[in-house]
């Protein structure tokens, strides 16, 4: 037994004194006392050591399976001459040599022989002294308690082998399974660990002698499910497994290894649509498997694209699944007369759900019949309608574009008359907005393409040559343009007279709150008086400052992601993934704000549709200015000397927010 050096010296000295001066203290022949207990029954002898392991009570074997035999300590702890050898181990071989031999050939025994301290020994599972029969409900190896015993190792997160191979956390899955739930309720018939993995000679699933080897799994499950095993053995899957085809599924491939759930459980791999997508689809929708064995391609896709597939995806409990036509375990090819889909049996199979089904009805529901690509009739119909959609809907689009173009040009002509327009933006400001628009669109497209590579528009870009390398370069270039434009705009609004005037007009004030409330009262028919806006209304100010705020956030997080190694020198480690998350969701916020807010006021607002030309020409008609920004309109006329400032105060009641430029 291991003990630290100081403890060993104290024990040696104490035993020497007893042997030299107290010969009467030794047990007489036939006495029940054991000389080992003279030390190991005294906790004071092992202070600072592993007392729970080294201190043994005289009645340690009371009630155990070993008590009737009157074993002494040396029966199991052999070769323990004093002083004890280093790292001693107890042995069960004097009585259980056959079991110990099987254990030595098991995975646990192999790991222990390699010196893996994590490997379980006999005592790990059975206990040290209070070893009870596995039939005893209090035993650690009782059918109901065994999963908890195995979970002491296989339930730990991060359990590693001596080669740092991470073992699965199987107990958590077993506990959720139908077997684990039965064990939790104390059902002794519920499958426990030893029922599938055996007791002492646990072997890997790759070992042909293992009960969990693919060839043996059906027989292992058949211990409790014999009828299902007989069906599986007769099925094409069972025949293939016994023929040595490793790709053929066995029980655990469809139901799982430890997380075996009831077929009625929505989380089960054989429930609803998951049966086609996850269980059957693992093989029958795998191009490698299909090509290797010459299976019919597209069977899973044709099912998913049928009424049965649609209804199951919607959660229907009545629509047919794979097993309803092919059966759950006795799956046979159509060429087998016993198959549920054999020509002579197909009508009866359909009639289970469709009473009165005929051969013609059954022929209409095959995978080939419902497939668009495999059925020539469906293929022709699809091609016909694709052309009809392209021609008819395309013609409608062109027709409507002509009408939209008419009104856009009409709106444009209204703004070409210098006498009827006011300058809203300078050429410089229009150019800034155009560059910002292009940079934003490029950033949004190339940025979202990275996060959503499976989207159809991203695949289209990839087909056109937009590889990841090109996408990244274009995104960073657009980001650089955005940052440079932002720096220029900051100089413009702070360093030029025109820019400072624009900045002052964009600063929010108390009137904006009053205008917002008045605007809402007007549009909810609670007031007939419109709000009177100046150069910029509350919606435009909010959008401008949101752009400034969002631009700063996107620039900072974008630079962190562009130069992560440099950023890591000055920022905490969590700052880089945080920057990635912020960059993504701020992009969504900005994009949605543009689509929902900006586009509404510039394009879709009833008073601006089909589009305001101000963002391209920098001009606004006097009529529109008077309607949307009456205070600014009066200021502009006053500057031009046409009317005194404020003289038009009673000419209009104002206008709601309706144009973002």
Tell me the pLDDT tens digit for each residue of 601-611. 998 888 888 88
* Dihedral sign from CA coordinates of 290, 296, 300, 302: positive
Question: What letters, b where the CB count within 10 A reaches 16 and e where it falls short, cover 136-169?
Answer: eeebbbbbbbbbbbbbebbbeeebeeeeeeeeeb
In 3D space, the residue among 74, 7, 3 whose CA is nearest the CA of residue 37 turns out to be: 74
- pLDDT over 90, % of the chain: 63
- pLDDT, average across residues 631-650: 67
| 8 Å CB contact between 637 and 648 | yes
pLDDT at 367 over 80: yes
- Determine the topology of domain 422-639 in CATH: Fumarate Reductase Cytochrome B subunit (1.20.950)
Of residues 622 and 556, more confidence is placed in: 556
Can you name the residues that pair with 621 across neighbouring β-strands?
Answer: 421
- pLDDT, average across residues 410-428: 81
What's the residue count for the chain? 661
Q: Where are the beta strands (DSSP E) in 396-498?
A: 421-423
| 8 Å CB contact between 655 and 531 | yes
Q: How far apart are CA 647 and CA 330, in angstroms?
A: 92
Q: Which two tokens stand for residue 452?
A: 């959503």
The pLDDT, as a whole number, for residue 206 is 92
Looking up tokens 């020198």 gives 569
| 8 Å CB contact between 341 and 325 | yes
Helix axes 497-506, 538-562, angle to 10 degrees: 110
Query: pTM, whole model, 2 decimals?
Result: 0.70
Which residue ranges make up each domain of the chain? 5-90, 422-639
3-class SS at 499?
helix
- Residues 36-46: pLDDT tens digits? 888 888 888 88
| 8 Å CB contact between 532 and 631 | yes
- Give start and end residues of each alpha helix (H) in 105-134: 107-113, 122-126
Q: How far apart are CA 533 and CA 655, in angstroms?
A: 7
Q: How far apart are CA 289 and CA 240, in angstroms?
A: 14
- Consecutive H or E run containing 621: strand 619-621
Q: Which two tokens stand for residue 545?
A: 């400052």
- 600-608, long-range: CB < 8 A, 24+ apart: 601/539, 601/657, 601/658, 601/659, 601/660, 602/659, 602/660, 602/661, 605/658, 605/659, 607/658, 607/659, 608/658, 608/659
Q: How far apart are CA 27 and CA 34, in angstroms?
A: 7
The pLDDT, as a whole number, for residue 567 is 94
- 25-33, long-range: CB < 8 A, 24+ apart: 33/58
- Residues 157-213: pLDDT tens digits? 667 776 777 777 888 899 999 999 998 888 878 999 999 999 999 999 999 999 999
| DSSP code of residue 142 | S
| 8 Å CB contact between 460 and 448 | no
- Residues 341-355: pLDDT tens digits? 999 999 999 999 999
pLDDT at 642 over 90: no
Q: How far apart are CA 472 and CA 443, in angstroms?
A: 10
Q: How far apart are CA 40 and CA 34, in angstroms?
A: 10
- Residues 215-234: pLDDT tens digits? 999 999 999 999 999 999 99
pLDDT at 436 over 50: yes
| 8 Å CB contact between 492 and 426 | no
3-class SS at 200?
coil
- Residues 122-152: pLDDT tens digits? 999 998 888 999 999 999 999 889 998 998 8
Q: How far apart are CA 374 and CA 302, in angstroms?
A: 9
Q: How far apart are CA 195 and CA 223, in angstroms?
A: 8
* Dihedral sign from CA coordinates of 473, 478, 479, 481: positive
Q: Which two tokens stand for residue 255?
A: 């139901």
Q: Return all residues near 161 (Cβ < 8 A) that are at least 6 apart.
A: 111, 116, 118, 167
Q: Which two tokens stand for residue 478?
A: 């657009």
The pLDDT, as a whole number, for residue 70 is 84
CA neighbours closer than 13 Å in the CB half-sphere of residue 430: 13
Report how far apart, in Å, the C-alpha atoms of 106 and of each of 100, 152, 202, 299 are. 10, 19, 5, 43
3-class SS at 511?
helix
The pLDDT, as a whole number, for residue 158 is 60
Looking up tokens 């409507």 gives 400
pLDDT at 20 over 70: no
- Residues 65-81: pLDDT tens digits? 998 988 888 888 888 88
The pLDDT, as a whole number, for residue 119 is 86
pLDDT at 16 over 80: no
């Amino acid at each position: 037994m291991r003990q630290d050096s100081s403890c060993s010296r104290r024990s040696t000295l104490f035993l020497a004194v007893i042997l030299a001066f107290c010969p009467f203290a030794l047990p007489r022949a036939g006495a029940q006392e054991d000389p080992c207990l003279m030390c190991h029954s005294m906790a004071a002898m092992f202070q600072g050591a592993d007392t729970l392991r080294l201190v043994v009570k005289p009645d340690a074997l009371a009630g155990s399976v070993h008590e009737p035999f009157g074993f002494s300590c040396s029966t199991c702890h052999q070769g323990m001459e004093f002083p004890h050898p280093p790292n001693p181990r107890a042995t069960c071989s004097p009585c259980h040599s056959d079991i110990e031999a099987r254990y030595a050939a098991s995975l646990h025994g192999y790991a222990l022989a390699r010196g893996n301290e994590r490997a379980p020994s006999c005592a790990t599972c059975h206990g040290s002294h209070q070893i009870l029969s596995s039939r005893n409900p209090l035993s650690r190896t009782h059918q109901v308690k065994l999963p908890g015993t195995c979970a002491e190792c296989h339930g730990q997160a991060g359990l590693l082998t001596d080669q740092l191979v991470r073992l699965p956390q199987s107990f958590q899955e077993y506990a959720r399974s139908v077997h684990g739930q039965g064990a939790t309720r104390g059902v002794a018939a519920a499958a426990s660990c030893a029922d599938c993995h055996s007791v002492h000679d646990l072997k890997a699933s790759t070992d042909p002698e293992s009960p969990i080897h693919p060839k043996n799994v059906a027989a292992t499950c058949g211990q409790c499910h014999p009828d299902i095993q007989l069906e599986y053995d007769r099925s094409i899957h069972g025949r293939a497994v016994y023929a040595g085809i490793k790709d053929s599924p066995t029980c655990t491939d469809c139901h799982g290894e430890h997380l075996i759930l009831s077929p009625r459980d929505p989380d089960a791999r054989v429930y609803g649509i998951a049966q086609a997508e996850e269980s059957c689809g693992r093989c029958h929708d795998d191009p490698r498997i299909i090509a290797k064995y010459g299976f019919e391609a597209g069977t899973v896709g044709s099912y998913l694209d049928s009424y049965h597939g649609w209804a199951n995806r919607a959660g229907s409990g009545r629509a047919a699944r794979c097993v309803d036509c092919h059966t759950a375990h006795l799956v046979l090819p159509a060429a087998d007369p016993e198959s549920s889909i054999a020509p002579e049996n197909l009508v009866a199979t359909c009639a289970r759900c469709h009473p009165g089904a005929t051969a013609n009805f059954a022929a209409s529901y095959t995978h080939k019949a419902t497939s668009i690509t495999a059925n020539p009739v469906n293929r022709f119909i699809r091609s016909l309608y694709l052309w009809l959609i392209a021609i008819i809907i395309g013609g409608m689009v062109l027709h409507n574009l002509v009408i939209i173009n008419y009104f856009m040009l009409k709106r444009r002509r209204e703004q070409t008359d210098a006498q009827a327009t006011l300058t809203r933006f300078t050429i410089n400001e229009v150019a800034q907005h155009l560059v910002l628009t292009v940079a934003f669109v490029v950033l949004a497209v190339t940025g979202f393409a990275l996060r959503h590579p499976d989207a159809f528009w991203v695949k289209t870009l990839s087909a056109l040559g937009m590889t990841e390398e090109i996408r990244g370069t274009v995104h960073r270039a657009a980001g650089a343009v955005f940052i440079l434009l932002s720096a220029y705009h900051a100089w413009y609004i702070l360093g030029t007279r025109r820019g400072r005037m624009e900045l002052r007009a964009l600063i929010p004030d108390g009137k904006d709150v009053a205008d917002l409330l008045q605007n809402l009262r007007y549009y909810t028919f609670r007031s007939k008086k419109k709000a009177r806006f100046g150069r910029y209304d509350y919606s435009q100010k909010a959008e401008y400052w949101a752009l400034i705020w969002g631009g700063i956030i996107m620039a900072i997080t974008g630079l962190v992601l562009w130069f992560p190694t440099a950023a890591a020198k000055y920022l905490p480690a969590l700052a880089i993934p945080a920057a990635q998350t912020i960059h993504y969701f701020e992009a969504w916020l900005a994009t949605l704000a543009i689509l929902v807010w900006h586009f509404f006021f510039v394009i879709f607002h009833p008073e601006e549709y089909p589009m305001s030309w101000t963002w391209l020409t920098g001009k606004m008609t006097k009529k529109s200015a008077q309607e949307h920004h009456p205070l600014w309109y009066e200021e502009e006329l006053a500057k031009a000397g046409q009317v005194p400032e404020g003289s038009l105060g009673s000419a209009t009641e104002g206008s709601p927010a309706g144009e973002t430029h």
